[in-house]
Every structure is written in structure tokens, then in C-alpha cells.
Amino acid sequence: MTLPRRLPRPRTLRARLTFGLVVLLAVSCAAVGVAAVIELDGFLISRLDQQLAQAGTHFPESLEHKGQLPDDNDGDEHGDTRRQATGTFGARLVGDDVTNAAVVRPGAVTDVPLTEGDRDQLLSVPPNGKAHTVRLSTLRAYRVVAYQGLDGDTLITGLPLEPVEAAVHRLELVAAIVFGAALTVTGVVGAFWVRWSLRPLSRVAATATRVSELPLASGEVALPSRAPESDPRSEVGRVAAAFNRMLGHVEDALTKRHASEERLRSFAADASHELRTPVASVRGHAELALLHPDPVPPAITRALERIAAESGRMGAMVDDLLLLARLDAGRPLERLPVDLTRLVLDAVTDARATGPGHRWTLELPEEPVTVTGDDHRLHQVLANLLANARTHTPVGTKVTVSLETEGATAVIMVHDDGPGVPEDIRSGVFERFTRADRRRSGAPGAGAGLGLSIVAAVVEAHGGSVGLESRPGSTTFTVRLSTA
């Protein structure tokens, strides 16, 4: 069984208002039309009943005497047609039998053949002088009235309902045409009127659409001009005023946020720049002390080695922070041709040297892939992704690095079959200082959590994108760069 499809519903407010207006008018027109038809039908039938009362039993009595009534000159052998309208029906019933049935035609009276159903209908009319409607097989609908005759018979007089039905049908046709035209005109005019009335709301919607398309997540944002305000006493005017006030609050908040971000970036850049010198000095003095020829106690040597190592790690962290600050400030990178094939090959070679416990595999295309960008920073992207795979997977994990092209896009994928990225940090894995509670290998983790944020920032600065797909046993980082 096929279910009927639901009628489409208007989606816009303008369409809904126009549709509602037309529906209400249609219901009103239908109610008026039905009331007019019912009233006209009742009025015409009552007039017909009055004519039946005036006609009385004269015509059916003439059928009984077969033309023998006084002054029969105006009749014929079948019945008396004097003062009888064309189409008048007469019948005489004796007991359960219809002895005579005729109808007045122009200039003559014609017998009416009756079926069993016709006879049953005539016999069912009570002789109480009240009008009833019957439908005879050869005469259609008639309004009839029955009286008890002097001879114990029943005399029935009837007039056709065809003129009444014709008048009612004509009214129905006229009403349908007039109301249809009214609905059409109302629909067209109403659509223009509703559209004109909702122009301020449409402008508010257009302004809201432009605002929704702005990149509000970061950076300085210039909001579009405010929605034009209309009569504040109207609902649309109040909506426009409230919307403009909201835009004002949003603009103030965005301005303050941008100023705060600028201060933070400036602080990070200045702090990173200022920290480079003392960190390098601490590291240099520690290495110099380790090179002293005089005997040094083992504990002191160990402490100096730790100072040198931690100062080196701190120096790398300062360099990362300084790089992020520069990228946030929008400083341009080098725009030179970079051979990604060679870059991937070198990065995997370095990873094999630093992580011999992992199984490193490489998948390269037959033709070299070249992009425009900063060779050093793109190498840093690959190095961070491979270091992330090496650090957060157990020994023996297979890491596959592949390079391919999709049209004008170079695609680099770093896949490992390790335990996967914890679900609670997947959504923020490229944010700064994001670290898992534990390494995927199960050992305690270390690091500032800046590696993947640098990957995202460098790739974004090159106009590319980076994504992550991870589940237990399969983790893939995908970098996309334009080759155009």
C-alpha cells in the first residue's frame, strides 16, 4: 500500500502569511457560498411548495374523470390542463395501486410510465398536504403533495425541481468563478503586501546572514552595517532594534577579545624573545663547566648534565612559542618551490635514526610532488608528526608515511597501528598545550603539548588543512597542501 505524499508546506514566513491569508479567505468564501446556496435552495423550494398549495388537486381530479369535468374545452382526453404549468405532474392512487399518472406538456397531457420503484415512492407519500421530494425514473426530481380524495383515493400533485436545481447550480458556478477570481487576486496582492510589510524583517535576516558568514573565531572582525530600524511600536521594529543592540554587544566583545589576544601574542613573542638569551647562556655555562679539565665530583657532573639538557629543552620550547607568536601575528613565510618527495624521504630517514624500535615504511609516487612554501617549516611539520607517532606509540609499532596527489592537492598521511588517540582529547588535539593524561604506550608523558599546534599553524599559514582520524589500532594524520 502506497501512502499518499504529504503536501509541501510553505517554509518562509512570507509564504506562510500569504498562504494563511488565502486559506482564511477561501474558508470564508466557502462558508458564504454554502450559506447562499442553502438559502436560495430553501427559498425556491418554499416558493415551489406555495405553488403546489395553490394548484391543489385540480389536475389529478381531472385525470380521474378523463376529461368529463365541466368546461372541458381547454382540456384533452387524458386530463385537464386548465391553469396548469408545463411540467405539472398528477397521479391518482387507489389503495396500493396507481391508477393514473400524467404530466403536462406544452399543449397536451402525457401519461407517465412508472416503474415499481416509482410506484413505491408515490405510495410512500403521506396524504397530509405536506410537500415531499421524489425522484421518478422518467421525470427526475419532483416536489409533490398528496391529499385524500372524496372517493377514498389519494390525489398527488407535483412540480419539477429542475428550475430550482438549475438556479442553484448557476449560483454555485457564479460563486465559484467570483470567489476563485477573488482568491487569485487576494493571493497576488496579499503576497506583495506581505512582502512589503516584511521588508524590515528581511533586512534584519540579510544582516544576520552576513554576520553568520564572518570568521568570528579569531582575529579582528569588522561587523556589517546595522539593520535599518523601522517603527519601534511594531514587532518587526522591536526585533530590528534588539538585533542591532545585540550586534553592538558582540562588536564590543570581539574588540576586547582581539585586544586581549594581541596583548597575549605580544607578551608571548616578547617573553620568548627575551628568554632565548638567558636560556642559551645557562646552557652555555653548563656545557663550559662540563669541559673543565679539573676533577669534578660525579654528583656535580650529573647536575651540570641535567642543567644542560633541561636548558636545551627549554630553549626548544621557547623557539616553538616564538614561532607560534610569529604565525599568530601573520608574519609571512618563505614562498619557494619545495620538493615534498625529498622532504618526506629526509624526515622518515631522520625518524628511523631516532626511533629504531619502530617499523617505518614509506609510500611515494613515481613523480616528484612540488608545492610552494617554506622548506624549513614544512620539514618541521613532518618532523613533529613523526615524533608524535614515535613518542606516543609502543616499540614495534608500524608507522607508514605516504605522499600522493588528488588533483591540485598534495596529501601527506602519517598512519600508525598504535593504541589510538584518547577520545577525550581528539577534538582539541591541535590546540596548544594539549597533552594526553598518559602516553599511548602507557608510560608517563612529557612535553609542552606544542608539537601538533605548530603543525596546524604552519599548515594553515600555507593555506592547507590537517585532520585526524583515530581509533584503537589505527591513527592517521592527514595534511593537505595546494600544489598550485
The pLDDT of residue 361 is: 92
* 467 and 359 housed in the same domain: yes
* 289 and 236 housed in the same domain: yes
CATH number of the domain where residue 389 is located: 3.30.565.10
- pLDDT < 70 positions in the chain: 1-11, 65-83, 212, 214-224, 226-231, 260-277, 279, 285, 316, 319-330, 434-448
Does residue 343 belong to any structural domain of this protein? yes
* 364 and 477 housed in the same domain: yes
* 476 and 350 housed in the same domain: yes
Does residue 13 belong to any structural domain of this protein? no
Degrees to nearest 5, angle at CA 75 with 72 and 79: 105
Cα radius of gyration rounded to whole Å, the chain: 50
Last residue of a domain, one of 285, 304, 331: 331
The total number of structural domains that make up the chain: 3
H or E stretch including 405?
strand 398-406
CATH number of the domain where residue 255 is located: 1.10.287
* 361 and 322 housed in the same domain: no
| Cβ within 8 Å of residue 445, ≥6 positions away | 391, 392, 435, 436, 437, 438, 439
* 238 and 347 housed in the same domain: no
The pLDDT of residue 442 is: 37
Indicate whether this model's pTM tops 0.75. no
Does residue 148 belong to any structural domain of this protein? yes
* 296 and 344 housed in the same domain: no
Closest among 211, 200, 198 to 241, alpha carbons compared: 200
* 231 and 355 housed in the same domain: no
Last residue of a domain, one of 331, 347, 378: 331
Does residue 141 belong to any structural domain of this protein? yes
The pLDDT of residue 69 is: 40
Query: What is the Cα–Cα distance from 333 to 320, expressed in whole angstroms?
Result: 15
Half-sphere exposure of 190 (CA within 13 A, CB side): 18
463: left (phi over 0), alpha (psi -120 to 50) or beta: left
Does residue 87 belong to any structural domain of this protein? yes
Range of the domain at 145: 56-160
* 321 and 388 housed in the same domain: no
Which three three-digit cell numbers place residue 202? 528581511
The pLDDT of residue 257 is: 73
The pLDDT of residue 435 is: 65
Residue 128's Cβ-count burial label (10 Å; 0-12, 13-18, 19+) is: exposed
Reduced to 3 states, what is the DSSP secondary structure of residue 106? Answer: coil
Does residue 377 belong to any structural domain of this protein? yes
CATH number of the domain where residue 120 is located: 3.30.450
Compute CA distances 85 → 52, 295, 480, whole Å. Answer: 11, 147, 97
Last residue of a domain, one of 297, 331, 365: 331
Say if residues 309 and 287 touch (Cβ distance below 8 Å). no
| Buried residues in 129-144 as b, exposed as e (16+ CB within 10 A) | eebbebebeebeebbb
| Angle of the 451-461 helix axis to the 298-328 helix axis, nearest 10 | 30
The pLDDT of residue 479 is: 92
The pLDDT of residue 308 is: 76
Does residue 212 belong to any structural domain of this protein? no
Cα four-point dihedral sign 85, 86, 88, 90 = positive
389: left (phi over 0), alpha (psi -120 to 50) or beta: alpha
Does residue 112 belong to any structural domain of this protein? yes
* 361 and 463 housed in the same domain: yes
Count of C-beta atoms within a 10 Å radius of residue 16: 13
Q: In DSSP terms, which residues pair with 370 in a beta bridge?
A: 339
Amino acid making up residue 381: V
The pLDDT of residue 476 is: 92
* 325 and 223 housed in the same domain: yes
* 359 and 478 housed in the same domain: yes
The pLDDT of residue 5 is: 56
